[in-house]
């Protein structure tokens, strides 16, 4: 498996340039076609606008401004992409909301790259849950680039969060091209006690994940912990402790109300990450 088509979200996030460069680095290594997809958000503006007539002359300058911003963002993407030896790249502009346009296009791609939302800048940027929305709606893996700092390249050390779930299994399989390239892979099992006995007498999940990775040429070190706190916070702390350049994990969805009330590993990671995060739902 390899990534032959990669789509990167083009917007006005503070880490936009670093996000495009990270996607282009990966596309160069994989000799993949890179698509920069930008949304003017015109559709949402029209839906939420108090103007009753969407064809009113008074609204035209607003729509033009939104589309000009989109074109400027795509120009920046093209400047970054042109600096890499890519198999090919292209720009696309749409008026639909990012969560819909990205999800639709990602179904035809091997990987979707996004920048982490910046809560300080608020509603002008995609929601913090955009990555989770795209991962769940498209079925494609998502690689999220942090806004705090430019991520390290190449990816030398990866931390894989493992709990034996369907989502973790999908994340591991989708991340195999990266796992095989990494110099070191750590598999974090945070609830080692409960996982040891899972799967019945014929399956030992703790050893099975190491064997599965080894058959793909990935030598991994198991890191067993019995953490009862926030799994997301524990994964981020362990990633920092091990010096990981990338965190791979499953994306676990709840209802929006449940997420707001109970938090969750995915929500914690999306909010507090300081390294790139690869996730699948």
Which residue intervals of the chain bear CATH 3.40.50.620? 5-145, 157-280
**pLDDT at 200 exceeding the cut of 60:** no
pTM: 0.90
pLDDT tens-digit readout, 2-47: 999 999 999 987 789 999 999 999 999 999 999 999 999 898 888 8
Identify the residue with better confidence: 148 or 146.
146
Domain covering 5-145: architecture = 3-Layer(aba) Sandwich (3.40)
pLDDT number for residue 47? 81
**pLDDT at 53 exceeding the cut of 70:** no
Tell the CATH superfamily of the 157-280 domain.
HUPs (3.40.50.620)
pLDDT number for residue 213? 98
pLDDT tens-digit readout, 213-238: 999 999 999 999 988 788 999 999 99
- Return the minimum-mean-pLDDT range out of 22-31, 103-112, 249-258: 249-258
**pLDDT at 192 exceeding the cut of 80:** no
Alpha helices for the chain (secondary structure H): 16-30, 42-48, 60-81, 98-106, 130-138, 166-174, 176-181, 192-196, 205-214, 231-242, 256-262, 265-272
């Amino acid at each position: 498996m390899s990534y032959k088509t990669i789509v990167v979200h083009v917007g006005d996030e503070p880490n936009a340039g670093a996000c495009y460069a990270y996607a282009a680095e990966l596309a160069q290594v994989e000799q993949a076609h890179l698509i920069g997809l930008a949304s003017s958000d015109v559709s949402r503006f029209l839906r939420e606008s108090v103007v009753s007539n969407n064809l009113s002359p008074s609204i035209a300058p607003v729509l033009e401004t939104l589309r000009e911003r989109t074109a400027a963002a795509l120009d920046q993407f093209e400047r970054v992409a042109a600096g890499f030896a890519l198999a090919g790249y292209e720009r696309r502009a749409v008026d639909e909301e990012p969560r819909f346009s990205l999800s639709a296009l990602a179904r035809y791609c091997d990987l979707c790259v996004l920048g982490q939302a910046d809560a300080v800048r608020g509603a002008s940027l995609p929601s913090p849950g955009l990555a989770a929305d795209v991962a769940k709606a498209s079925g494609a893996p998502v690689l999220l680039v942090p806004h705090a700092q430019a991520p390290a390249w190449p990816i030398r050390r990866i931390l894989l969060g493992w709990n034996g779930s369907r989502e973790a299994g999908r994340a591991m399989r989708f991340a195999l091209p990266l796992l095989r390239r990494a110099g070191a892979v750590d598999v974090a099992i945070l609830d080692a006690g409960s996982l040891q006995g899972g799967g019945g007498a014929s399956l030992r999940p703790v050893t099975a994940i190491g064997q599965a990775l080894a058959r793909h040429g990935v030598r991994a070190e198991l890191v067993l912990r019995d953490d009862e706190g926030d799994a997301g916070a524990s994964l981020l702390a362990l990633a920092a402790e091990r010096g990981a350049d990338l965190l791979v994990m499953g994306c676990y969805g709840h209802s929006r109300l449940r997420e707001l009330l109970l938090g969750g590993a995915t929500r914690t990671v999306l909010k507090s990450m300081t390294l790139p995060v690869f996730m699948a739902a």
